[in-house]
Amino acid sequence: MKIIAVNAGSSSLKFQLLTMPEEHEITSGLVERIGYDNAVFTIKVNGEKIKKEQSILNHKTAVELVVKGLLENKIIDSIEEINGVGHRVVQGGEIFKDSVIITDDVIKDIISLNDLAPLHNPANITGIKAFRELLPNVIQVAVFDTTFHQTMKEDAFLYATPYEWYQKYGVRKYGFHGTSHQYVSERALELLDNPKAKIIVAHLGNGASLCAVDAGKSVDTSMGLTPLEGIPMGTRSGNIDPSVLMLVSQKEDKTYGEVLNDLNKHSGYLGVSGISNDSRDIVDNMHKGHHRATLAHKVQIKRIADYIGSYYVYMGGLDAICFTAGIGENAPEIRQDVIEAVKVLGVELDPVENQKRGEHLISSKQSKIKVFIIPTNEEVMIAREVMRLK
């Protein structure tokens, strides 16, 4: 059975075609700069990436191009081979506590949550509509970033704001990267052979979040109402005193929206270092003695350690820390500095294992807490949900 996992952004469409239940990737690809004359379509054929630049004015055209690419490159013989489509949707609010088969009513409910994710949900809906139009008789499933975190208790997800804000407008912590945190934590439970294990997943990429997972359930996570809350990221500030918005708005004659945009797109690694949002650039310049790059690194490490300590206390212990995503999987120096920052918990890395890549244990034999690298696979998680609901 062939399932396609889709992640539609405002100007992009990422996809992966898998055979299920074997969870084998057949191909993957990306459409970038949708809405422009110089859009780029990339598809993997026999292990090689084929790129093509052309005009792609909307998501419907992008979806048609993806299916055409699958046919022309003989990845599939006919469109009927696609048995299901799984769509990543960023915000499910409190409406969606599980993945769901997409209907017209489901689309209306997702649209009703646009205020909670104005940059993401409208783009996700655009991708859904395009695939439903092209494949009307194929099951389409919405898989929400927020669903895994619906097991958080009120003391973890509520803000200490007027309670009416929560009742009227849904102001609360929702958390994101849910499919990644779920995939990695489930794999960690298998590796530990302990279904009741207490785990912290550190999903560290350009966007980054931590999640406390107790016996397979999310009990707390660092991102909040939006992905802006939490630790500093590539371009996001992470936690900040809200009064900063008023101060900077007045001093620089900017609207709140413009200041918020600065916190989302010009802060984090980029804002502190003044160099780059890429952790590799930050580490390279740190070694050259660049003060602000060093500061950007240290600020993020400190905040990650803060969350790990907090989750250790909240869960009443910890069995494993799992690093995943682009930085978590590929940056040994960042893993080393994070673990060094929380060594008081009795955790210690094996320096040789920490230099290696791929799924494996990187903590020392003496460590009281195990540390793993576990590559995430959100597309497999999405395909699993399609199979479960099919």
Q: Where are the domains of the chain?
A: 2-144, 193-373
**Residue owning tokens 């997702």:** 110
Residues of the chain scoring pLDDT < 70: none
Q: Which residues contact 63 (CB under 8 A, 6 or more apart)?
A: 13, 127, 130, 131, 133, 134
* Residue from 48, 38, 39, 37 nearest 12 by CA: 39
Q: To 10 degrees, what angle do helices 291-315 and 279-287 make? A: 120
C-alpha angle 256-279-192 in degrees, rounded to nearest 5:
105
What pLDDT is recorded for position 220?
98
For residue 275, give the DSSP letter: S
- CATH code of 2-144, in short, is 3.30.420.40
Give the Cα separation of 254 and 247 in Å (integer): 10
Q: Which of 77, 105, 115, 145 is catalytic?
A: 145
Same fold, 2-144 and 193-373: yes
Asked whether 324 and 180 are in contact (CB, 8 A), the reply is yes
Res 272: pLDDT: 97
- pLDDT of amino acid 213: 98
CATH of segment(s) 193-373: 3.30.420.40
Q: Is 145 a catalytic residue?
A: yes
Q: What is the pLDDT of residue 9?
A: 77
Q: How far is 218 from 185, CA to CA, in rounded Å?
A: 9
pLDDT of residue 228: 93
The whole model's pTM is what? 0.92
Tokens 């999987």 label which residue? 329
Instruction: For tokens 């900063």, name the residue.
Output: 244
Task: Identify the H or E element spanning 40.
Answer: strand 36-45
User: What tens digit of pLDDT does each residue of 60-91 get?
Assistant: 888 889 999 999 999 999 989 999 999 999 99
